[in-house]
Structure formats: C-alpha cells, structure tokens
Structure 1
Amino acid sequence: MLSHLLQNILSSLNPARIGKAAPLRGRRVTAMAKKGKASQGRWRNPGRIWGLAMVASLALNLTLVVVLVVFLYKDHSGGLGTCAAGAAKESKVAAAAPPLVQDKEDMAAGQEIAVSATSGTRPVSKDSVINLDHGDPTMFESFWRWMGDRGSIVIPAWQTMSYFSDVTNVCWFLEPEFAQEVRRLHNLIGNAVTQDRYIVVGTGSTQLFQAALYALSPSDASEPISVVSAVPYYSSYPAVTGYLRSGLFRWAGDAYTYKGDKYIELVCSPNNPDGSIREAVLNSEAGRTIHDLAYYWPQYTPISSPADHDIMLFTVSKSTGHAGTRLGWAMVKDKDVAKKMVKFIELNTIGVSKDSQLRAAKILKVVSDGYELPNTENTSKLFDYGRRLMTMRWEKLREAVKASGIFSLPEFPSSTCKFTGERTVTNPAFAWLKCEKEGIEDCESFLRSHGMLTRSGRHFGVEPKYVRVSMLDRDETFELLIERLSSLN
C-alpha cells in the first residue's frame, strides 16, 4: 500500500508533465484569447504554477505518509505489534526469546529517591528494603508483556450479569469456558487426572481449602476434627484453620506427632516452604487428605505422573502468575464432597467472579495454545520461560549463598520430567534458607537488619534459624537479594 502511494506521488512529478497546462477547451479558450497581452502574461508560463502546486502536494503527501507509517508500525503495550501491516516485523521479533532479566539501566532508573518497597512495588534504589515475605509472582510480568494483547479480553456490559453459569453443573457458578481450559491444560501438562472429576472453582485456593475442610468435617461429631500437616507446613494452614474458631475442625499441628485416628491431613507437594516432594504421612481409614498442588507445574518441578487424589487444589496465581485474578480450582473425585464444597462457597461468597473466570480461561487458553498450535515460537511457551528463569535464579542464589558462607540451602535430586522429556531438578518458588553462622539464632531478624524482609521458620512450625525467601519477585528485587546475600559474611 505504501509503495503504491509513493509511486503515484512520484509519477505526478514527471518533468514531461510539469510545465504543460491542461488543454483549455470551448468558450473558455475563446474568452481568454480576447483578453489581449495582459491575459497572455498570466498564462504565458503555466508550468511554474503547476510546479509550485505539485511541490505543495508532495509536502502534504509526505507528511501523511510519515503519519501513516508511525500508525501502522507502532507496537502496543510492549507487545509484538497487532496490525496486519506489521506481520513481517512480528515474525522476526518472535524468533527472539522474552528477556529473562531486565536491562540494568531500567533497574537503575529512579535511584535518587529511596523509599521502602512492598511486594507490589519496585525497589527504587539500592538502599530500598526488599520484601520477600510473600510469594507475589511478579516475575511473570515480563512474559505477559511480551505476549501483548494475546491474553486480553473484552467483556461487554451486558455479559456475566447473572449469578448462574450452568445450573446443570454441580458447581453452578463455574463458567464452562474456564472448566474446558482447566481440563485442557492438565491434559497437556500431565500433572493431574481430569477424567471423572468434578471441578469446583474458588476465590483462590485458600477459599477452596476452607471449603474442603467444611466438606470433610463430620457435621454430627461431638468435637472438632483435627487438621494436621507435616512440618515444615505452609504458614497459612494453622492461621486459616483456626481463624473462625469453627466447631467443625481445629488445628492440631505436626502430622508426624499426631496420634489420633480421625483427622484431615494437608499435603502440599512440592511443599511450601522447602520445595520437597511429599506424600501423606498418616494412613488411617478414618482419616481424610487434601492435596495442595499449587506448585506442581513444570517451571517449578519435574512432572513425574498425573496426580490422582480425592481432592487436589490448584491456583491461577502460581501456574500463570495472575495472583490478582484471585482464582483457584479443585479437582474432586467424590460428588457429595464436591456438592458440600460448592455449598460452602455459596454461603461464603454466593459463587465466584465470572469476570475472573473468563479472564483466567483466556489466559489458560493462551498457555495451551503456545504448545498445541502449529509453528508456535518458543516465545509463546510459558512453562519453558518460567523453567529457564527459575533455573537461572537458583544458580545465582546458590552462588550467593556459597559466597557468603553463612547460609545453607536444601539439595534436590534430578528426575525426568514427563512433560518436557528432560532430566532436571526442582527449582522451588521459595528458598528455604538456614542461617548456619554461630550467634545467629533468628535468621529473619538478621536479614531484616540488612534490608531483606523474609518469613521466619516459626510460622512453619520449625526453629527461627530458618526463613522462607520468595523467588518469584521482579528482576530488580531478586538482583538486590543476590547482591545483599553475597555481601554478608
């Protein structure tokens, strides 16, 4: 289109045409001839007038061409470009990989102002306090910026107005598109059995955890059922279990020391905080088990086989990084248990945001498309990107810990991932750091004094020599972590 426009402009400047006025015909020619020499002086050199006109036309057209080029080739939202005219450019850009680490010049921007950073903001100077207490998965931002508008949706104002999604489904507020993409993704990765399972959607896996406790607790028991988990256990388990002081269940601590027959055991695998692969500790016919598989994805650990348990919890936040969408799902084997979980969510929040489900469905679709559609570049493969980044980060962390000489980290055996076909090791979302230096009894306080906020081992049922450190923050925060750990000795 642009070449055709330029050709028309240049052809209009043909010297053979400039200087030749268009032939004047009929009565207009006769009238002009009668005006004498004065009139002839004005028309003696019409080519000069036409030349000036064409120069003005050329300037105007060139201005329009520049504006048109800028419009057609402008990238939107940091992506690869969205218009058809930029298709050639997009194919070239797609051959490159998304940046695993941001430019240091970008990281240095704004260092003149020192304010404390939270998990949701960037550190603005090298002296900022960095918050690694929460597992805020902002490291995935670079990937989704690179993907541009592929994961975007537009929800019309009239859509998703009803409470109901599918009244024929056990989970009546579950959007069919979301359920479809959940099953598709699990079947692609091979990390969970989906056949003959009921999907229950929740506002994050935390609500689903509460719903599962409600569903598994006997309603006619004389005392609350005990809830246990092997140490180090996820710090939110005791807090959430005891928050409402329910008469149905109560927190009973470490599964290794529990002596009763009736219980609900929480199994997190890979485990938060230490990244270990876990199985149930207790084995009683009267006991029930909930498997928290939030981190059973290829960017964190090799996929050994499809998980096949009665209740399996997953979350969008740790699979794709979209923690703000506040969405999780449970794969439930027993229909009655699924119904009770749905009832809890109905009483708690009258369902789950349909807008969030539609957005999550689109995100999961983009992830699956990256692996299933033909001729898809590596830039579209979320789990490949995440695995490369986590591997790089863990290598840097181990080097920093070795340089400091005062910390230790757990080691993980290698195994073959059924999804990638490669032999790899677990690269957990959190680092379970132990202070080995004599005289340091409280590792969390020690790191806090050096500008690093972490979560103490006390919250996980172990001694304060341990801390949990998030590996999921933005590049700027992670690089500051490595720099500060390396400097400690």
Structure 2
Amino acid sequence: MCGVEIKKNGNGNSEINNNSTRNYENGNGITKINGNGNGITSNGVHHSSRQNDDVVINLDQGDPKMYFPYWKNVDDKCTITIKASELMSYFADVSNGGVFYQMPEFTEAVRRVHRVVGNAVADDRYIIGGTGSSQLFTVALKALASTVKSSTTDYENYRIPVVCAEPYYSCYGEALEEGKSEVYKWEGDANKFKVDGPYIEVVTTPNNPDGRCREPVVNKEGGMVICDLAYYWPQYTPITAPADYDVMLFTLSKATGHAGSRVGWAIVKNKEVAMNMIKVMTLETIGTCHEGQLRATKLLDFVADGYDDQLVDDKPDGLFEFGHRVLAERWEKLRAAVESCGAFSLPDFPSDFCNFWGKHCQPNPAYAWMELKSGGEAAKLMSELKIRTRCGTRFGVSAKYIRVNMMESDVSFNLFLERLSTIKLE
C-alpha cells in the first residue's frame, strides 16, 4: 500500500503510518488522506504532509516583534534610569488645566512626534494618556455617552448604539458585550445602521483587519465619531494629510513596537469630552503609570530626533524607514507565496502620495487579510499547519477570511511562508 495515515500520538505529535488509506478525525473536523502518499486535502486545498517542526506559529495577535532588531541596535542610545525614590506621587502635573496624572514631557513628546510625521493635528488639542488605546476606547465611549446624557433628558433611558463598518476590529464588539454597559450598546455593522438619535461610530483607518483607509459611513444627525488611528504611521500607509477628528486614538505599540509598555493616547478637540475622559480615567485607575509615560517620552523623542534636520546632519535610517522596508519586503514575499499557492487571495492597495516620504508609495498594512478561494474555513486550514490566525467571523464577516499578523519576528514570518508554500490548489 502506498497511502498514508496521519494521526496524533499520545504527545499530540503527528505519526505517519504507510500501511493504510482512510479518513480520520483530527479534532477540527474530517481530513481526507490522499491515497497516493503525496499529501492530504482539506477544504478543497491540497497541502504536503511534510512536517517543518512542532512549533505553533502565533499570527493571531498583533504582536509587533519585527521592531526588535531596530531597537536592539540603539539600546545604548535610548536608555532611561529610574531611581527608587522617583515617580512616587500620584501627581505628575500640578499646573492649572493639566491632566494631574500625566507628565508634561509626555504630552509634549506626543505633540512633537505628530508634528514631525504630520499624521494628526495635536497642537491646541487635549492629549490624554491611557493604558494602550484599548482602555482609551472604552473611556472615550463613556465620556461621549456622558456628554449626551448631560445635555438633555430626552435620552435618559437610551442606550447609545456603537457601530463600525465591517470588517471591524474584533475587540470592539467583544469589549462592549463583555462590559454590559447600561449607557451604550454594540450594534455591529455601520452600513446597516438605520436608527435615529445619538450614536457613536468607530472609524479605524487604516482599517484593522484589511488595511484600507476609511471615512465615517453613517453621517447622520446626532452622530459622534471615535477615530482609531493606531496604524496611521508612514511605515504602514501613505500620510496624505493630518487627521483632525473630534476623538483620535493612538498607541505606542504600533507606533514604535513597544506593546508591553501599555501606553496609548487620545487627541481630543472638545473640552467637555476631554474632561469627562479624564474623570473616567481618574475613577477607574487614578491615571496611568508614570514609568510607562517616561519610557514612551524617551522613545517618541528619540524617533522625532532622527527626523530633526537641526539635530541630524547625516541621517541614518530611522524607525519609519526600518518599518517600511521590513513590511514592504514581507508583503512582496507573501504575495509571491500566495500566487504560487493559489489557494488564497490578497487585497490590492493603490499607491498614494505620502507627505512624510515626499513621494508616491504603496501601503504596507500591519495585517494580511487573506481569503480562502474555496470558501471553506481558512483558520481551520491554517491550524492544521500549526499556524494560529484570527478568523473572519470575529470581524463580522465570513470564516473564509483570516487576519495574519505581518509584524511578527523574522523567524515566525519566514516559517509561516515556508508552511504556506506547502499548500497547493487541487
């Protein structure tokens, strides 16, 4: 017999038996074994039975490990020391009008880096730090809802709908449904929203998961917009104009790659909304970590210094050149692998003029939004190759889509390409 049977041993590893040909249940559904010994078929897609190793590649989370080589190379130039006696008080800014828990130098570093990049209007705006943009998202929701409730009694018992055009970031709806708020509720796809009255639309641009630049779609009276601009940096997309929405969210994790510091910031136009956000932050966490703010200040200033003509005569490659180069190379390799594989498709992105680079350039999104052409469950197929991805159903669309993190380490990304190359369309 020339067929093979792939099964799991007691340790969860694959064993190959060359004496039989049959179907088996792998815990994720039925997988058909090819009778000629060349491989297996799942969801109408053929892939080789060759095993790379037993390592599970996690491309589910948006962990920005690709930035490690850049920062490792400048360790001696971007270091902070915190003494045991420092940063002990709750208070970081005692000036009138300041956010008491926020270091003034952090606020200025945020404004400076946005001036350098030109991706957002930050001067003459309220800068509110938070524990990543995830916390600031829910804080902004509460602040906007509170603003509506305090302005009129017409909506006293009204739960304000929150919408976002699909495919939308998976954690928006999950966070709202888990929170079970009495003042707002998740209503899903903004394209299907027809209700009159106050509402909040979340606009992610470039979009997570598909990388496309977007605008609000509802545009009805009483609407409020939260703009998530986590990926509006020149390594990911052309900077066409400074964003200037009422509430804008940014995160250090995607700007510089320092996800573990858990630092984000909101840029807010309206004073009442800003004061409500500060109040919520004070009640929930008494502000944010001063150590994280200090590290973020050092990092943002280091990045900005690299693009200051008065400070740098002979400029080496800065953070944005590094990120742009790495992502451009990865997208080129992924497109070649997908074309060779034939089982998936990728979106195309038009080039645009980038004010930061001073030329037309191609977007290099932080995630690959991959569609399985056969229409099956793409995440299930990837799991058979020991690749963890995020299923399209979590983004409000079909399971034939998956989101793949393009910011992982070189080792993980190259291993992903290697395993992807074993899939062949029958």
Aligned match of 2:42: none
Q: Counterpart of 1:159 in structure 2: which amino acid?
A: E
- Corresponding residue number in structure 2 for 1:391: 328
Residues 315-368 of structure 1 deviation map (CA, whole Å, 9 limit, x = unaligned): 000000000000000000001100101111111111100010001100011101
**In 2, Cα distance between the equivalents of 1:126 and 1:274?**
30
- Structure 1 residue corresponding to 2:179, chosen from 237, 244, 249: 244
Contact 1:273/1:468 (8 A) holds in 2: yes
**Structure-2 residue corresponding to 1:209:** 137
State the superposition RMSD in angstroms.
1.4
Alpha-carbon distance between aligned partners in 1 of 2:277 and 2:314, rounded to the nearest angstrom: 39
Choose the corresponding residue for 1:257, options 189, 192, 202.
192
- Residues 1:486 and 2:413 are matched in the alignment: no
Give the match's secondary structure for 1:399.
helix
Distance of 1:295 and 1:355 partners within structure 2: 24
Map of 1:200 onto structure 2? 128
> Deviations for 1:29-48, whole angstroms, at most 9, x for unmatched residues?
xxxxxxxxxxxxxxxxxxxx
Corresponding residue for 2:258? 322
SS in 1 for 2:119: coil
| Letter of the structure 1 residue corresponding to residue 376 of structure 2 | E
Quick one: structure 1 residues 195 and 377, their matched pair in 2 at CA, closer, same or farther if it must change by over 3 Å?
closer
User: 2:395 and 2:316 mapped to 1: Cα distance?
Assistant: 38
1:382 and 2:319 are equivalent in the alignment:
yes
Query: Is the partner of 1:243 in helix, strand or coil?
Result: helix
Q: Which amino acid aligns with 2:106?
A: F
The aligned residue for residue 153 of structure 1 is 80
Match of 2:44 in 1: none
Unaligned 5+ runs, structure 1: 1-113, 116-124
Letter in 1 for 2:331: W
Letter in 1 for 2:364: N
Q: Percent identity?
A: 49
SS in 2 for 1:251: strand
Q: Which moved more, 1:298-307 or 1:212-221?
A: 212-221
Q: CA deviation at 1:223?
A: 2.1
C-alpha separation between the residues in 2 aligned to 1:251 and 1:482? Answer: 36
Candidates 313, 320, 336, aligned match of 2:272: 336
Contact 1:184 1:368 in 2 (8 A): yes
Q: Identify the residue that residue 136 of structure 1 maps to in structure 2.
A: 63
The change in CA–CA distance for 1:161 and 1:376 in structure 2 (over 3 A counts) is farther
- SS of equivalent to 1:230: coil
Q: Cα deviations across residues 1-55 of structure 1 (Å, max 9, x unaligned)?
A: xxxxxxxxxxxxxxxxxxxxxxxxxxxxxxxxxxxxxxxxxxxxxxxxxxxxxxx
CA contact (8 A) 1:256 1:281 kept: yes
Deviations 1:418-443 (A, max 9, x none): 00112111110000000003xx5111
Query: Could you say which structure has the greater relative contact order, defined with CA pairs below 8 angstroms and 6 or more residues apart?
Result: 2
Unaligned runs of 5+ in 2: 1-11, 14-51
- Structure 2 residue aligned with 1:290: 226
| Larger Rg computed on CA atoms | 1
Residue 294 of structure 2 aligns to a residue whose secondary structure is helix
Q: In structure 2, do the counterparts of structure 1 residues 133 and 404 end up closer, same or farther at CA, with 3 Å as the change threshold?
A: same
Matches within 5 A, 1:46-445: 126-167=53-94, 168-217=96-145, 218-219=148-149, 221-261=156-196, 262-372=198-308, 373-379=311-317, 381-437=318-374, 441-445=376-380
The separation in 1 between residues aligned to 2:264 and 2:276, in whole angstroms, is 17
Q: Tell me, what secondary structure is at the counterpart of 2:379?
A: helix
Cα distance, 1:170 vs structure 2: 4.1
Q: Give, as a single letter, the amino acid of the residue that structure 2 aligns with 1:205.
A: S
Q: Which residue matches 1:462? A: 397
Deviation at 1:377, TM superposition (A): 3.4
Deviations 1:141-200 (A, max 9, x none): 000001122221001111111101113234221111111111110000000011220000
Match of 2:36 in 1: none
Return the letter of the residue paired with 2:330: R
Instruction: Report if the CA contact (8 A) 1:208-1:330 is conserved.
Output: yes
Higher strand share: 2
SS of the residue corresponding to residue 306 of structure 2 reads helix
SS in structure 2 at match of 1:201: strand
Alignment check: 8 A CA contact 1:170 1:339 kept: no
CA distance in 1, matches of 2:225, 2:200: 5
Residues 202-227 of structure 1 deviation map (CA, whole Å, 9 limit, x = unaligned):
00001100110001113352121000
Counterpart residue type for residue 151 of structure 1: C
CA separation in 2, counterparts of 1:170 and 1:309? 21
Inter-partner Cα distance in structure 1 for 2:314 and 2:301? 14
What is residue 408 of structure 2 aligned with on the other side?
Answer: 473
Secondary structure in 1 matching 2:163: strand
Q: TM-score, structure 1 length as denominator? A: 0.73
Aligned-partner SS, 1:378: coil
TM-score by length of 2: 0.84
Amino acid at match of 1:442: E
Aligned residues: 364
How far off is 1:376 after superposition? 4.3
Q: Give, in whole Å, the separation in 1 of the partners of 2:162 and 2:245.
A: 18
Q: Distance in 2 between matches of 1:222 and 1:211?
A: 20
Q: Quick one: distance in 2 between partners of 1:448 and 1:441? A: 13
Q: Is the 8 A contact 1:170 1:338 kept in 2?
A: no
Deviation per CA, 1:262-318: give whole Å up to 9, x if none. 210000000000000000001122110000000000000000000011000000000
User: What is the one-letter code of the residue matched to 1:203?
Assistant: T
The 1:376/1:153 distance shift into structure 2, 3 A limit, reads farther
The aligned counterpart of 2:35 is none
SS of corresponding position for 1:445: helix
Q: CA deviation at 1:403?
A: 0.6
SS of 1:371's equivalent in the other structure is coil
Whole-angstrom CA distance in 1 between matches of 2:314 and 2:140: 39
